[in-house]
């Protein structure tokens, strides 16, 4: 993508309405614009990141055997009367009449609708064991929408719902989601701490929230310091080993359950929540299936949410500096920012065009700054939008046939040849070694 053709409305000043870094940076980097309180337009750069996050989630859910569906954003309120939750969400649930005066609502969550799908379409115990997910917009009329996309009113969520024949099977599904969540967040460059959370009226210990540790987090979390070591790259652990570590939400914290010298107390951003539901909804909505012996069994459910749009903010909270965002490669909108320091200089233009062509041919996403802005402005913009690699080409280097390559995260800069620069960002051809 050529910057001159792109839609990237950067803001130089610090937006006064933004209280936290991620909100400030998402506005300054031209990723989002607020339309109304807690309701955002996603501009191209922001949408690219959102889609990258979505794709990681989709890939991990598919690997876990879950099946993607898509439910409407609008629902009839009848199902909520049937489940007994019509009044439970109060004013957070947005309701409105259609032209025939039938009441609709904008979905804040989908337990009712998915249970309705299952009760109407699953025929026998052979259909059980399925985990159905969607990535869809939700609306919750939050009292205090704030921190940009972190607590919006309209927000993108991955929500999934599992249906099993008995508790043991439901627990297995739950544990699989636990592992899946740790993997998906790790792929986004995050160490999410899985804290034991309140399981409400259902009881038991099958409720975990996944938190990204950040000063601006809205929740208090308590956890074993090993999670910090994992995040800082000091140790590696399997999900099974992580499962043994202490981690609890405020309401579940027990100071006697962990040695004081191992305890960390911090603020967390909740990016995911997994929950064993039991038969709460299946009972109310009569989602039953005949078992092998013909007996009707009320399905055991679980629900599993991820805050997709919140993650964009959470990743920035976890990864930025004074100059701007530092994207982990897996979610970065472009992998490379190519900066032409002197547009109009024949050598610079030619070298940039060659590199731009080669990167595109190799399938490496690249944003080419071909504008006539001054050098200082170009550096600041590129640091602000946080692409993992910068390749800078100026008249002196072009004369010698070298480029300057900068790693956004470490700040390291090297003067290297064009081919070496390419080899740093072009992935080795998959399968070549195996041939």
Q: Which residues bind ligand ATP (CB under 6 A)?
A: 109, 140, 142, 151-152, 155, 157, 270-273, 305, 307, 309-310
Q: Which C-beta is closer to ligand ATP: that of 17 or that of 350?
A: 17
Q: Which is nearer to ligand ATP, 209 or 383 (CB)?
A: 209
Residue whose structure tokens are 């050529």: 2
State in angstroms the smallest separation of the CB of 233 from ligand ATP: 25
Reduced to 3 states (helix: H, G, I; strand: E, B; else coil), residue 94 is coil
Cβ atoms < 10 Å from Cβ of 256: 6
Q: With CA atoms as reference, report the closest residue to 91 among 142, 137, 138.
A: 142
CB 285 within 8 A of CB 299: no
- Joined tokens for residue 355: 């590199």
| Residue showing tokens 């950067």 | 10
The CB-of-86 to ligand ATP minimum distance in angstroms stands at: 17
In the block, which residue shows the tokens 């439901």? 170
Residue 78's contacts (CB-CB under 8 Å, 6 or more residues apart) are none
Q: How far is the CB of 13 from ligand ATP (least distance, A)?
A: 26
Residues linked to residue 273 through DSSP beta bridges, in sequence order: 209, 305
Output 151 or 252, the one with its CB closest to ligand ATP.
Answer: 151
Q: 312 in helix, strand or coil? A: helix
| Listed residue (63, 274, 60, 307) closest to 170, CA to CA | 274
Shorter beta-carbon distance to ligand ATP: residue 103 or 142: 142
Residue closest to 359 by CA, chosen among 419, 289, 312: 419
| Residue 304 C-beta: closest distance to ligand ATP, Å | 9
Provide the minimum distance between the beta carbon of 431 and ligand ATP in the complex, in angstroms, as a whole number: 37
- Residues with Cβ within 8 Å of 327's Cβ and at least 6 positions away in sequence, in order, are 49, 315, 319, 333, 386, 387, 388, 408
Nearer Cβ to ligand ATP (276/389): 276
Q: In 324-401, where does DSSP find H-type helix?
A: 346-361, 375-385, 395-400
Tokens of 113: 């609708």
Q: How far is the CB of 282 from ligand ATP (least distance, A)?
A: 19
Rounded least distance, CB 126 to ligand ATP, Å: 30
Taking the least distance from each CB to ligand ATP, the nearer of 18 and 338 is 18
Q: How far apart are CA 328 and CA 343, in angstroms?
A: 29
CA distance 68 to 80: 23
Tell me the residue nearest to ligand ATP as measured from the CB.
Answer: 307
> Alpha-carbon distance 310 to 137, whole Å?
12
Q: How many residues does the chain have?
A: 435
Q: How far is the CB of 157 from ligand ATP (least distance, A)?
A: 5
What sign does the CA torsion over 358, 360, 362, 367 have?
A: positive
CB of residue 201 vs ligand ATP: minimum separation in angstroms? 15
Q: Which residues are within 8 A (CB) of 435 and not within 5 positions of it... i.e. 6 or more apart?
A: none
As measured in angstroms, the least distance from the Cβ of 214 to ligand ATP is 13
Nearer to ligand ATP (CB atom), residue 305 or residue 324: 305
Whichever of 151 and 320 has its CB closer to ligand ATP, that residue is 151
Tell me whether residue 184 or residue 384 sits nearer to ligand ATP (CB atom): 184
Asked if 163 and 300 count as a contact pair (C-beta separation under 8 A), the reply is yes
């Amino acid at each position: 993508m050529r910057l001159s053709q792109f839609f990237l409305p950067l803001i130089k000043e610090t937006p006064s309405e933004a209280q936290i870094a991620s909100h400030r940076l998402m506005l300054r980097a031209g990723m989002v614009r607020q339309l109304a309180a807690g309701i955002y337009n996603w501009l191209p750069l922001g949408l690219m990141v959102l889609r990258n996050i979505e794709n990681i989630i989709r890939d991990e859910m598919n690997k876990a055997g879950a099946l993607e569906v898509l439910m409407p954003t609008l629902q009839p309120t009848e199902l909520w009367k049937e489940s007994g939750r019509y009044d439970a969400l109060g004013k957070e649930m947005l309701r409105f009449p259609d032209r025939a005066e039938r009441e609709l609502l904008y979905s804040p969550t989908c337990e009712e609708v998915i249970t309705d799908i299952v009760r109407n379409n699953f025929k026998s115990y052979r259909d059980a064991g399925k985990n159905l997910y969607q990535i869809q917009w939700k609306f919750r009329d939050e009292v205090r929408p704030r921190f940009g996309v972190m607590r919006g009113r309209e927000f993108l969520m991955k929500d999934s719902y599992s249906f099993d024949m008995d508790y043991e099977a439901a627990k297995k599904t739950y544990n699989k989601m636990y592992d899946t969540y740790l993997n998906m967040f790790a792929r986004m460059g995050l160490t999410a701490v899985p804290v034991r959370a309140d399981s409400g009226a259902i009881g038991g210990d099958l409720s975990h929230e996944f938190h990204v540790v950040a000063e601006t987090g809205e929740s208090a979390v308590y956890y074993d310091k090993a999670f910090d070591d994992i995040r800082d790259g000091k140790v590696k652990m399997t999900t099974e080993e992580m499962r043994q570590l202490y981690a609890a939400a405020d309401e579940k914290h027990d100071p006697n359950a962990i040695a004081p010298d191992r305890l960390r107390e911090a603020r967390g951003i909740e990016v995911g929540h997994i929950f064993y539901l039991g038969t709460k909804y299946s009972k109310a909505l009569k989602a039953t299936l005949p078992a092998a012996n013909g007996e009707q069994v009320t399905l055991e459910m679980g629900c599993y949410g991820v805050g997709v749009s919140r993650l964009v903010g959470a990743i920035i909270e976890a990864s930025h500096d004074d100059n701007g965002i530092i994207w982990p490669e897996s979610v970065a909108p472009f992998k490379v920012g190519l900066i032409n320091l002197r547009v109009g200089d024949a050598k610079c233009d030619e070298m940039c065009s060659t590199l731009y062509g080669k990167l595109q041919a190799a399938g490496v996403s690249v944003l080419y700054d071909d504008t006539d802005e001054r050098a200082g402005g170009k550096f600041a913009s590129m640091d602000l939008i946080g692409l993992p690699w910068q390749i800078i080409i100026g008249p002196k280097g072009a004369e010698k046939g070298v480029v300057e390559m900068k790693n956004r995260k470490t700040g390291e800069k090297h003067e290297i040849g064009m081919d070496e620069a390419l080899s740093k960002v072009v992935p080795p051809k998959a399968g070549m070694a195996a041939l």
